[in-house]
Amino acid sequence: MAGKGDGQGENAAKLEKSIGCIKYTLFCFNVVAWLCGAGLFGLTIWIRAEPGFEEWVAILDIYAYYIGIYILIFASIIVMVVSFLGCCSALMEHTLALFIFIGTQVLAFIVSVAGAAILLDHSTINSSIQPMIRRTLRQLIMTSEWPSSAATLKMIQENIGCCGADGSNDYMVLRQPLPSTCRDTVTGNAFFHGCVDELTWFLEDKSGWVAGLAMALATIHVVNAVMSIILVQALKKEEEEARTYRH
């Protein structure tokens, strides 16, 4: 009987050690998730509130770009709240709280992936943002005799270093004169790339870090959920062994 008791005590000590290891690892992952969530919140708010960028969005009429940003702002808030609760539930070893935490990790994963996917769908080559930019630019070219349209085209083409929507041929197709802003001031040649591609590359650079951070967070959510399940199972096993030992 003494040998059996010693064996049970040794198993209980090993299990308690394993629970402590899982618990503090989960705590550390939640701290990392909170920091990443805070970083994502800061980046998305900066993109949404940046005055210069907001002006470009208004000029090009691509407000759909902000859909993914809004979703990721929401996701980052969820992450920060959930990560704090995750730290508390892990340290308290509360089974019900851990089950709730697992559910919120699934929700945060879905929102993060959805936000990143929608953002990339509105900021990459061959994405749904390009027809919107193309439509706006062609409308500006067709009305380039108007001072406001001419000024907008000049600002876009000079600042970006591009010509037309898809190239200088747009002016010929739409029967409009090729403006001087379409030409390189050094060589005098028309810019090779159209403004649709150049503007999309600009959006890609801006969105890449945000989408990458969101996907990194999604990975952390999966790890947190798996570790929480393992912790719950370990806690249940500890309870069962405690009951068995008492009897």
pTM of the model: 0.84
| Long-range contacts of the stretch 151-155 (C-beta < 8 A, 24+) | 152/59, 153/179, 153/181, 154/179, 154/181, 155/59
How far is the CA of 44 from the CAs of 108, 121, 130, 194, in angstroms?
Answer: 16, 16, 21, 28
Please report the pLDDT score of residue 211 as a whole number. Answer: 95
Give the pLDDT confidence of 168-221 residue by residue, as tens digits.
Answer: 898 888 888 888 888 887 887 888 889 999 999 999 998 999 999 999 999 999
The secondary structure of residue 181, as a DSSP letter, is G
The whole-number pLDDT of residue 178 equals: 87
pLDDT at 97: 87
| DSSP-assigned beta bridge partners for residue 190 | 183
Query: Cβ-count burial of 240 within 10 angstroms (0-12 exposed, 13-18 middle, 19+ buried)?
Result: exposed
Looking at residue 246, what is its pLDDT?
60
pLDDT at 2: 45
pLDDT at 234: 86
Look at residues 28, 201, 62, 45 and name the one whose alpha carbon lies nearest to residue 124: 201
Query: pLDDT 10s digit of each residue in the chain, 247 long?
Result: 444 555 556 666 777 888 888 888 999 999 999 999 999 999 999 999 988 889 889 989 999 999 999 999 999 999 999 998 888 888 887 788 889 999 999 999 999 999 999 999 999 888 899 999 999 999 999 998 899 989 999 999 988 889 989 988 988 888 888 888 888 878 878 888 899 999 999 999 989 999 999 999 999 999 999 999 998 888 888 777 666 666 5
